Amino acid sequence: MNWQSKANIFIIIRGFIILLFTCLISTIKINLCFSNTLPLLLHNHNNHDHDHLKTLEFDGHLSFDDVDHASKDFGNRFQYLPSAVLYPKSVSDIATLVKHVWEMGMTTELSVAARGHGHSLQGQSQAHKGVVINMESLSENKNSVMYIHSDGEFSYVDVYGGELWINILHETLKFGLTPKSWTDYLHLTVGGTLSNAGISGQAFRHGPQISNVLQLQVITGKGEVVNCSKEENSDLFHSVLGGLGQFGIITRARISLEPAPSMVKWIRVLYSDFETFTREQESLITQDQNNSFDYIEGFVIINRTGLLNNWRSSFNPHDPSQASQFNSDGKTLFCLELVKYFNKDNIDMVNQEVEKMLSKLKYIKSTLFISDVSYVDFLDRVHVSEVKLRSKGLWEVPHPWLNLLIPKTKIQTFAHQVFGNILTHTSNGPVLIYPVNKSKWDNRTSVVIPEEEEEEEIFYLVAFLSSAVPSSRGRDGLEHILKQNKRILEFCEKSNLGVKQYLPHYTTQQQWRAHFGPQKWHKFTQRKSTYDPLAIFAPGQRIFQKGKSLIQFS
């Protein structure tokens, strides 16, 4: 090759390099231009939303500054800052906001989340760059009074959706009445628990809280205020119950009541054999109402010594000498927790009934502990623990809870692997386990329970209520507990146990589809397109995304 040919090749290569660098520089400039412009566009978009919101008139007020608290919840793991928080003083305040967002349509990215007492675990009550409604503000209005009706046979209470259950308890007791079904913790709002289910040890008899609702007032995703019940607008009524906040905001609820006891006989006994423990739990919840307990739960105790001594501050051992000699030897034990309601004038009869029922159970005889406490003290028992934990700075920590609903036919398989191999201690928090009757759950609601055989009447709640030490990298640290939860879920899926999550949390559409199952998912998406077609509500559940057609999810 002569020098002229080499020179030509050199010129071509140099030109190619110059062209390449020119393209790179142009690309960088374009990217820089977009990277500088995009936040500006988003900022202008948010300002646009703010300006529109500021034009609205409320009986209460809308805050753009006092929003930090609405970006946190009990789970203490997720934090999404909203654009604003509404403090409503009337139902119309909420309707005005929702209707405004609905009418803006796709020109706004605003979403709306109803926040009660902020006890969600995975940011479900949060709304990133949206509007959070402080539902408790509605109940704090001086004009918000509960209406209690009783004609001797039929009793109910009308309450706002942001009312705490503990307040309802105190008010209804003034009339000698009480709601039938509870959660273990009463400092939760009506709308919050009814959007999930509301489960405790009374559920075997009365069903969850959603089975004891007579009527609702709901604001739909179009800003409409609708009254609904089993007879009136029944599809909306059943959609909202257990609906995870997807179909409407519960602003009022009519709750069924019954005569209230004044006292409870609170009992704890231990088992070392899981099969005996579950068999007797199942027997107790299927007995005639007059010959059974009023509350039945249980919990798992793994590798904990000195447990009975811890009980002595609240319970009296039936036989102190035997109880003092009991040694768990590091075994996994199962506690059956029972309650019988009574009034002071019939204590002798109740004592005889309880003794007769206990005589049929095969618990470890030296572990019988009994305590007589007031009805209120029993129902509000978790709050006592809360006060103690708050004083030690141990309440506002991460709570990576895992709640599962498990078919009766699979509970032995589950227990063998989870309590035998995956869990090695329970120092992070209680592990609850108790059966409920399927017939007490209405399959027309949105809540998802295990799909068992038709003749199968019982399924179990198993709740791992862990608290994580923020700075710990050990067994009580967040990372370890999350890995443990993952192992439990992976085992359930691999073993095809048919387990369903209660207070569910998923991150993909595929997972939500699997959770609901084909038929229930189809119905769920149909209801969403009917009552909240723009997917305005409860973005923190991560089921639907605003701005995307619901057709793709059906």
Q: Show which residues are catalytic.
A: 119, 184, 297
Tokens (6 digits) for 294: 């009023």
First to last CA, the chain: 69
Taking CA atoms, 180 is separated from 138, 156, 365, 461, in Å, by 24, 10, 31, 19
- Element of type H or E holding 280: helix 274-285
DSSP of 325-385, one letter per residue?
Answer: H---TT--EEEEEEEEEE-GGGHHHHHHHHHHHHTT--S-GGG-EEEEEEHHHHHTHHHHH
Q: What are phi and psi of 390, to 5 degrees?
A: -65, -40
Residue in 477, 320, 488 with CA at minimum distance from that of residue 418 = 488
Reading the block at residue 190, the tokens are 């009506």
Q: Residue 114: how many CA atoms within 13 Å on its side-chain side?
A: 35
Q: To the nearest 10°, report the CA torsion of 280, 281, 286, 292.
A: 90
Residues paired with 437 in a beta bridge? 458
Alpha helices for 392-534 (secondary structure H):
411-417, 478-494, 509-516, 518-531
CA distances from 405 to 437, 447, 449, 520 (A): 12, 11, 7, 17
The DSSP bridge pattern shows strands 249-259 and 155-160 to be: antiparallel
Burial string for 223-253 (b: 16+ CB within 10 Å, else e) reads bebbebeeeebeebbbbbbbbbbbbbbbbbb
